[in-house]
Amino acid sequence: MGETFGLHLMLDGYGCDRSKLADAGFIRSFLDEFPEDIGMTKLMSPYVSRYEDADRKRWGLSGFVLIAESHVSIHTFPEEGSISVDVFSCRAFDVEAAERTIIEQFGIKRIERNILDRGVEYPRDFKLAREIVSIERQHCELRVAEA
């Protein structure tokens, strides 16, 4: 993760177990257990909702769980056998282990994986951040006074 604020794993899976993608209880259970599996702290019970487009041709389930370190979200498309999963955390985590768990749980056959370092400029030193904000506020006050 280096000097960034957080790591964002984005996993798109294809050829998934369609019955799991269509099962709101399974999605809820996965989101309930997965944060602990990757060493995160769940802050709320997972929320899962069904979505259908206006033509009722495409539907799926979307799920979300808030963790102290950020969030985990899932969007499934059962008819297509695909899933999109995002794991964003300001705490380092084992990306390969998280990916293996997701692949195994949903029976994913093919994946696209993207990993982003988030918050490259986010200050890790809060005392320094407070000083910077104070200086910027003083600068803004001076500009307003001069205007």
The answer to whether residue 29 is catalytic is: no
146 located within any domain: no
CB 48 within 8 A of CB 28: yes
Give me the pLDDT at residue 91, please.
Answer: 83
Residue 1: band (very low, low, confident or very high) from pLDDT cuts 50, 70, 90:
very low
**35-44, 48-57, 108-117, 125-134, range with the lowest pLDDT:** 125-134
What is the overall mean pLDDT for the chain? 87
Q: Which domain holds residue 79?
A: 6-122
Q: What is the rounded average pLDDT of the residues 3-7?
A: 72
pLDDT at 4 over 70: no
pLDDT at 73 over 70: yes
| CA 21/CA 74 separation, integer angstroms | 10
What CATH number corresponds to the domain at position 116?
3.60.90.10
Query: What is the DSSP secondary structure assignment for residue 42, as one 8-state letter?
Result: B
Number of domains the chain is built from: 1
The answer to whether residue 140 is catalytic is: no
Residue 19: band (very low, low, confident or very high) from pLDDT cuts 50, 70, 90:
very high
The answer to whether residue 70 is catalytic is: yes
111 located within any domain: yes
| CA 125/CA 85 separation, integer angstroms | 31
Q: What is the rounded average pLDDT of the residues 97-112?
A: 96
132 located within any domain: no
The helix-helix angle for 95-106 and 24-37 (nearest 10°) equals 160
Q: Which of 70, 73, 82, 89 is catalytic?
A: 70
pLDDT at 98 over 60: yes
- pTM of the complete model: 0.78
Q: Which of 8, 75, 82, 89 is catalytic?
A: 75
